[in-house]
Amino acid sequence: MRDSARLSRRSVLALAVAAPMAGAAPVAAAAPVSAAPVSAAPDSEAGPVLGGDRLGSDTVQTGSTTGLPRRLTARSWLVADHDTGEVLAAYRAHRRLPPASTLKMLFADTLLDRFPRGGRHTVTAADLAGIPAGSSLVGIRAGTTYTVDQLWQGVFLRSGNDAVHVLAHMNGGVARTVAEMQARARELRALDTHVVSPDGYDHPGQLSSAYDLTLFARHGLRDPAFRAYCRTRTADFPAGGRRTFQIQNTDRLLDGTWGLRAYPGLIGVKNGYTTHAGNTFTGAATRAGRTLLVTVMHPGDRLDAVYEEAAALLDWGFAQGASARAVGVLVEPAGEHPGAGPAAGAAWKVPLRCVRRACRVNYPR
């Protein structure tokens, strides 16, 4: 899809949220503090963009350049306040890029409440058919019985594409699951996202953005089960018979592995890597009662760059405190308002009517 088409599609939804941001007082820009140009004022030529015009800019957008990390190499990034939805700083927030396994947040947003977590499923060979070569796997075996809870542990901790495909087949198949994920993305107003497979694997046209991934994380964290899974560090996983083996969360900022220190207060959410996408990461951390979200996509080739840059952006966001000026906003899902729905403890669901492989969303009136 061309960029011009994408912007026009977002424009209708953007009008309601762009106007308040346009009135914010600009802050004089200091010297550049990252590899990308920095702007502390709106771009005058930008058109309406979901979340505010400034989020459509190709320059770094921030209300204050004080202390902004100097070595940000990511092709796109965003840091926001989880509770208010205010975007504190961003760079190419709506740029469409391969998401890798961070797309599993949308998979969970779509299916997590679909099956009772104590339910049991005996995996068949058909459940595991079609998993792309080179996928990350948790080690699911045909003929072995797993609880739904264990399958979700495989998704969140080990980023197992085998666990994703089993749950997708339980849901009626990969095609139906992809259609429901796409409908869910539209419900969440994540209009940069195009779903091709439920696991985030490299497929032509499988795209998302830092803005959309942050929407998925923010909405998912309102679900206690989602929040519990993404902050779990280790779990015992069935190995057949009565045997088990331990699986560990691949989020290095959560575990503090491979030479990285665990980030204080981190509560998840999802990392990803593919050859085409490079490293992607969406994280959330709480400090002094405040929770921030960060998404980093496609940084430089340093092994831990995605985690280092995410940690640096979180540090910057916490250092700004309540004085930080927003440059945009994370929109609420369609039909949902701040303080309602999941934020108040009642998840708002959109009915899906699926016939064969096509799903239609029936929005409440």
The catalytic residues are 101, 104, 159
Cα–Cα distance, 131 to 138 (Å, whole number)? 12
What would the two tokens of residue 58 be?
């190709």
Distance of CA 118 to CAs 115, 121, 149, Å?
A: 8, 10, 6
325 in Cβ contact with 39 (< 8 Å):
no
Enumerate long-range contacts of 306-311, CB under 8 Å, 24 or more apart.
306/74, 306/271, 306/279, 306/280, 306/281, 307/252, 307/253, 307/260, 307/271, 307/281, 308/260, 309/69, 309/71, 309/72, 309/73, 309/74, 309/77, 310/253, 310/281, 310/283, 311/253, 311/263
